[in-house]
Structure 1
Amino acid sequence: MARIFIELPQSFSFSTDIPLYYQHINLAGHLDNAMLLGIVGEARMRFFASIGYQSGNIEGLRAFVGDIAVQYLSEAFHGEVMVVEVAAREFNKYGFDMVFRVSDKASGREVARGKTGMVFYDVQAKKAALVPESFRSKFSG
Structure 2
Amino acid sequence: MPRIQIQLPEHFAFSTEMTLYLSHMNYAGHLDNALLLSLVSEARLRFFKSMGYTELNVEGLGIVVADAALEYKSEAFHGEVMIVRMTTGDFGSKGCDLLWRMSEQSSQREVARGKTGIVFFDYAARKVAPVPDNFRSRAGG
TM-score by length of 2: 0.97
Give the number of equivalent residue pairs.
Answer: 141
Q: AA paired with 1:16?
A: T
CA shift digits 1:40-69 (9 cap, x unpaired): 000000000111112321111111110000
Percent identity between the aligned chains? 55
2:134 corresponds to which residue? 134
- 5+ residue gaps, structure 1, are none
Give, in angstroms, the shift of residue 27 of structure 1.
Answer: 0.4
1:96 correspondence with 2:96: yes
TM-score by length of 1: 0.97
Q: How does 1:51-70 map to 2 (within 5 A)?
A: 51-70=51-70
4+ runs of 1 displaced by more than 3 Å? none
Give, in angstroms, the shift of residue 75 of structure 1.
Answer: 0.2
Q: How does 1:23-34 map to 2 (within 5 A)?
A: 23-34=23-34
Q: CA RMSD in A?
A: 1.0
Q: AA paired with 2:137?
A: S
CA shift digits 1:91-141 (9 cap, x unpaired): 100000000000000110000000000110111111100000011010338
- 5+ residue gaps, structure 2, are none
| Equivalent-residue separation in structure 2 for 1:114 and 1:101 (angstroms) | 7
Give, in angstroms, the shift of residue 3 of structure 1.
Answer: 0.7
2:119 is paired with a residue whose SS is: strand
1:12 corresponds to which residue? 12
1:82 corresponds to which residue? 82
1:118 correspondence with 2:127: no
| Equivalent-residue separation in structure 1 for 2:122 and 2:55 (angstroms) | 15
